[in-house]
Amino acid sequence: MKVQKEKVKVVLRFIYVILGNLHRAWMIPKMGYYARHVEKYSEEFRYEYDRYAIRLMNHTGRIKTKAYGMEHLPKEGGYVMFANHQGKYDALGIMLSHDKPCSIVMDDARSHFPLVKQFIDLVQGKRLKLNDLRQSASIIREVSKEVKQGRKFIIFPSGGYEHRNGNYVDPFKPGSFKSAMRAKAPIVPVALIDSWKV
């Protein structure tokens, strides 16, 4: 019964956030425009626009994100943040808390929904086709190369979030850490708590 009430709350909040932001729908084509013109708009500008959109959604949904331990992040160079995956807000919460531009590796099938596509495109996220081993290996090589060049990435080593897992960590997929290991880059663990409630 308690789980059912929690699910209803989550759905109602989601609907509330969508309806409360309908007047900002003009931002979606603008995000797409910025993403298509990376030569014109810097990575920092596009990342800040992403964060601006996240802040607006958080304000409407009364969502508060708290981050601790940011002082322990590497000061220079690229690195990969590995986080437990609880729901749709996970990457947004990390990006909101992370001041320097970072990108994400995401399941291709889920990355083409409206608004998700624009968020991913703005940060030049990588789309991973889970059933295509060649494409997956190619993405791992791309991420490794970009991390060596100083970029930062978010990876969810457990893959998807088929069920609401609460604050438990699901098993990691084999090969999740290959991109960081190949780049000989720092691995930054990220623990998300109660993100599944958003």
Whether the per-residue pLDDT at 105 is higher than 90: the answer is: yes
Number of domains in the chain: 1
- What is the rounded average pLDDT of the residues 129-144? 91
Looking up residue 58, the CATH number of its domain turns out to be: 3.40.1010.10
Owning domain of residue 185: 2-197
- Report the DSSP pairing between strands 152-155 and 79-83: parallel
Query: What is the pTM for the complete model shown?
Result: 0.86
Q: pLDDT by residue (tens digit) across 42-86? A: 999 999 999 999 999 899 888 899 999 999 999 999 999 998 888
**What's the confidence (pLDDT) of residue 122?**
95
Confidence class for position 93, pLDDT limits 50, 70, 90:
very high
Q: Which residues contact 154 (CB under 8 A, 6 or more apart)?
A: 80, 81, 83, 91, 94, 95, 102, 103, 104, 105, 190
